[in-house]
Chains A and B, each alone.
Chain A
Amino acid sequence: MKTPPAFPATGLAPSPAAGVSRPHESAAAQVAGAATYVDDIPEVRGTLHAAPILSTVAHGRLLGVDTAAALAMPGVVDVVLAADIPDDPMLAAFAGDEPVFAQSTVQHIGQVIGLVLAKTVMQARRAARKVQLRIEALPAVLTVQQALKAQSYVLPPVFVRRGDADAALATAPHRLDGTLEVGGQEHFYLEGQIAYALPQEQNQWVVYSSTQHPGEVQHWVAHALGLDSHAVRVECRRMGGSFGGKETQAGHLAVWAAIAAHKLRCPVKLRLDRDDDFMVTGKRHPFAYEYSAGFDGAGRLTALKLVMAVNCGFSADLSGPVADRAIFHTDNAYYLQDVEIASYRCKTNTQSHTAFRGFGGPQGVILIETIMGDIARQLRLDPLDVRLRNLYSEEDIPGTGEKRNTTHYGMRVEDNILAPLLSKLELSSQYRRGREAVLAWNAANPIIKRGLAITPVKFGISFTATLFNQAGALVHVYTDGSVQVNHGGTEMGQGLNTKVAQIVADELGVPFDRVLCTASDTSKIPNASATAASAGTDLNGRAAQFAARHVRDNLAAFVCGLDGCGAGAIRFEGGQVLSPNTTRSFVDVVKLAFFNRIQLWSDGFYRTPKIHYDKTTLTGRPFYYFAYGAACTEVAIDTLTGESRVLKVDILHDVGRSINPAIDIGQIEGAFVQGMGWLTTEQLVWNDKGYLSTHAPSTYKIPTAGDVPEHFTVNLWPEPNREDNVFGSKAVGEPPFMLAISVYEALRDAIASVGDGRPVRLTAPATAENVLKALAG
């Protein structure tokens, strides 16, 4: 394994701070068990604990809630139901289609009907099971197939077209028709959902929430309590993982806790039990596809007709933009000439599926990669060659005056590095020799078959909703020269605070350890966007950089006045402020400036340039730039049982100029393994009643240390972002998740070794059972 250059554990901090592999700012505290999460905050005396009352029926009329038995349990104080909501019984979610608590109808097993409040969390959970629900069952829609038939949608279907897919299909030399089903994924953040609501004086509120979006938590709580937003302060120091699962879902918890706290006039903590978390909260959207692809003898795609059915669950939540992003990533790295995509946002009686790392992107990418693999098999070509021939490029399209460089939503791919990146990985992973070796192995071994695949990733960076692409930050310089930064982003383990501190340290030319990032707090940065879409550092890092720059400019102007030089002549570096004739320490300059009444703190604001996008036609430039990568994966399958193993992974990924290589590599590896879990062992199973029967670590299997191959290399593409982005870096949170599609494609490659060139129908996740089914054809 190539280990990033380690920052020495002891010794002087290098300068500049950015571009260096530094440990996560909380690493020492985390390792010592001294980093605090919401549940570690000392409880205020009188705090009550809540547990949710869950629907036991997928769809039905809620006729009665009998709480007598629960109220008689030891320690139980009260029960909170829809009637206790002070204001709007609907959540302030974008689509306005989710009740805070189910009232007259229940829409999935696990929907929250109310809360039991007790003195301890176990008392509350025990009593919640004693609440008797009278529910008259109604017909439930449990699959996308049923939803399509019933035209049961949470949002209207969306269609995207370029050219004439039907005509192109009709004239295509070759054709491939198929269906595919790809399962969802539970976030399985190690820290479950939690909120702690504390009433303050004069109907003001503090809410500690494990959330990616404190601003939305504030907005939702204020809305439910009928208050102005300024009366609610939300704080989040860190999350124990989130992966998109705490983008909207954390808001529910906070609203529930706040309603209970409002009714009982005391602090209320709500921490979901892991099983309840599975039952209540949304997951990655399961997708089903039906497609027809046309292609030429060289394997180049000429037509694509695609229907995507998105299982959204019972409400819209973020399903609209998730399904949109799936459409935006159906091309992945490839030029689609004549294409028609229909996207159905199906309403089913299951949990309301939500954001999850990749946000629909993976469900777009996997479909086109499946097609690439099957085209290669049909034509008996190497899948990598088919992929290379289909890449976006500057090649002219005869007779059109256009080039193969524009996406199906009309955005020119200006920063394309796909061909050189793939070629470099092809060499470094020794793909061609590996292919020969795999063929030789498979010819000689009847039981264990190997597979190999390289798949690329091109992932669009920016929130597709343009308005979210804004951020704010505060930089405070204290008179001792120490620096405190606060920004609108949240720390979920991804190292955002570390990167932002590195950026600010360099902007002020001070050592890294002089800069401290503090908890996300709605009273510091208002109206902040969710920390999502991989854009945390791009947005907040830039805003913090601007805030630091304002302070630096103030100081520079002050020093100019002292030394009689131009502001451009002042440099801030190594903890010093250098003018043409004097060198002062940063601390001395700060002190002097304070005595001279110079402002030592500032805000910073950033909005992403160049982006625009028409929501009705899904065309424009939704993304500021693309992040690229590719992975080469070798797997083996056991043809007797369908079991599989990932043996070798080589990754080449583009993070621009890395602000912190160790953190970026950590994101790449972590995303890959999480993606591998999605496509192999992580299977969500709903039974025929709509009950999620995989709702605990005993039945839902995320990867363990033993699943990670020893040969697992990650290299970074050596080129800064071609767009003007903070430090020349690129976003890294989500794009590498899709590198794991190489695992799925390698598995299909292995399965194909016993086939006859037919498409490999492998339902994802590729559990042993699904692999064995695919082997049977």
Chain B
Amino acid sequence: MVDCHGSQCGFCTPGFVMSLFGLYQSTQGEAISRAQAQAALSGNLCRCTGYRPILDAAQAMQALPRVQVNETEVLSKLERISKHSRGREANSAYMSPATLAELLALRARHPDAQLVAGCTDVGLWVTKMHQQFARVLDVTQVTELRRVEDYPHHIAIGAAVTLTEAFAALVADRPQLAEFAHRFAGLPVRNSGTLGGNVANGSPIGDSMPLLIALGASVVLMRQSGKRQAHRELALEDLYTGYRQNVMAKDEVLAWIKVPKATSMETSRVYKISKRFEDDISAVCLGLNLHISNGRVRKASIGVGGVAATPVRARKTERALSGKPWSQTTIDQAMAVLRKEFAPISDMRASSAYRSTVLGNLLQRFWLESQGIARTDLRTLQPLEAATGAPT
């Protein structure tokens, strides 16, 4: 960083150094591409340098003599700290159960406790909105919920699985979700936040839900009932009842998210629109999953974010597509339906009109992509070759 002139005012520098350290350790001497460096630094902001020298440093560091770090020792220290940590606020009781049974028991005993996982949103309620919780119940150490389980027709993602791991599983099944996974949030947020938290939080602009709704995901809610564990399963879109309201009972915990596996019939995509590519909250988010065969739409499943008080299913648009020929005419009709199906608000992220217009346009994009019309994606675009001559 010093040799590359990567610090100016220096205030952001320690954060960048830590992200670079993470990249250094995880790449273990392999050459680092520009894209890898950008991804690793996606959660850090610098206002002075314009990033180029920091990216250069990221790509240059593996060429330096290797520095060995005893990760086991560092990790065990961190583990020790995490076990003995206390909230800064003395009156806040922090509970971190290690098993599902303990979690459900604690939930039953403390229905008022604030459930947390990565705290990527709840943390701000404390530091920014000055909320204080009498009790906090942390799900992240629950062994059972830290797993992604593989079944013949679906995967089950535990509520304590980080976004990074959850998206790794989703992308393994549907590679076309890779860009969305990157765009979902900056790396540190993806490493600490959980998919379960994003879903349970129920923000109308939570980005995973439009995708999950389109894919036909369901959630498993669990609670302790006497001596045994009770559970129920419902379609994700049925979880929400209003702005950050859901059907969960006071003693219930969102335990699993079940996502059907891709089938050969389906064409699925998810589109997120935000002011900035990385680390931003969507103005609109559209998840689509269509089953098309013999030129006809057999089934349409569409999830939308940013247009209502909750993430929603675009049922009218689904109806406008289902059973119809897969054609521009059908798309034109469905676009009109989709634009009218919701009455999104205008806020600092986008106007109502923009949200509606773009929703329709994204459906158009889905059509164009399904027709194999390449070059609709800004992100993979390179500068024009003729214009990339060597500078003098």
- Interface on A for B, CB 8 Å cutoff? 1-4, 6, 9, 21, 23-24, 26-31, 33, 35, 37, 122, 125-126, 129, 187-191, 238-243, 273, 275, 424, 427-431, 433-434, 436-438, 441, 445, 447-448, 450, 452, 492-495, 634, 636-638, 640-645, 647-648, 650, 662-663, 665-666, 669-674, 681, 683, 685, 687, 693-694, 696-699, 701-713, 715, 767-769, 772-773
Contact = CB atoms under 8 A, between A and B. Distances in A.
Contact of B47 (A189, A238, A681): A189
Contact of B384 (A437, A705, A708): A437
Interface string B326-354: 00000000000000000000011111001
29 contacts: A4-B5, A23-B5, A30-B7, A30-B10, A31-B14, A189-B47, A190-B9, A190-B11, A191-B9, A238-B9, A431-B387, A433-B387, A495-B8, A645-B381, A647-B381, A647-B384, A648-B387, A670-B50, A673-B50, A698-B124, A702-B47, A703-B276, A704-B44, A704-B277, A705-B37, A712-B50, A712-B52, A767-B275, A769-B354
B273 A191 contact: no
A177 to B, nearest CB: 26
A440 to B, nearest CB: 9
Interface string B357-368: 110011011001
B77 interface: no
B54 A705 contact: yes
Contacts of A701: 274-276, 280
Nearest to B389: A430
B38 interface: yes
Q: 8 shortest A-B CB distances, which residue pairs?
A: A493-B9, A240-B11, A30-B10, A434-B387, A673-B50, A493-B8, A648-B383, A669-B50
A546 B9 CA distance: 27
Interface stretch (B206-214, B237-245, B246-254, B372-380): B372-380
A122 B347 CA distance: 29
Chain B interface mostly helix, strand, loop or mixed? loop
B348 A705 contact: no
A416 B373 CA distance: 49
A381 B279 CA distance: 40
Contact of A427 (B354, B361, B376, B392): B392
Interface string B36-70: 01110110111111111111100000000000000
B388 interface: yes
B130 interface: yes
B262 interface: no
Contacts of B2: 9, 23, 27-28, 31
Contact of B362 (A640, A709, A713): A640
B234 interface: no
Contacts of A671: 50
B74 interface: no
Contacts of A687: 348
Among B50, B279, B381, B382, max chain A CB count under 10 A is at: B50
A4 B17 CA distance: 22
A450 B373 CA distance: 17
A3 B56 contact: yes
A647 B10 CA distance: 28
A2 B50 contact: no
Contacts of B387: 429-431, 433-434, 437-438, 452, 634, 648
A50 B341 CA distance: 49
Contacts of B277: 643, 645, 704, 706-707
B275 A240 contact: no
Contacts of A495: 8
Given A3-B4, A643-B378, A670-B47, 9 more contacts: A433-B387, A448-B376, A492-B9, A495-B8, A674-B50, A701-B280, A705-B54, A768-B273, A768-B275
A696 B45 CA distance: 13
Contact of A715 (B38, B124, B391): B391
A115 to B, nearest CB: 17
Contacts of B378: 448, 636-638, 643-645
A239 B48 CA distance: 12
Among B8, B34, B368, B386, max chain A CB count under 10 A is at: B8
A35 B1 CA distance: 15
Contacts of A672: 50
Contacts of B53: 666, 669
A187 to B, nearest CB: 8
A27 B1 contact: yes
Contacts of A26: 7, 10
B30 interface: no
Given A2-B391, A715-B391, A640 B358 contact: yes
A21 B376 contact: no
Contacts of A450: 384
Contacts of B362: 640-641
Contacts of A670: 8, 47-50
A694 B51 contact: no
A494 B5 CA distance: 11
Contacts of B274: 701
B3 A241 contact: no
B347 A241 contact: no
B12 interface: yes
A132 to B, nearest CB: 16
A438 B373 CA distance: 19
B165 interface: no
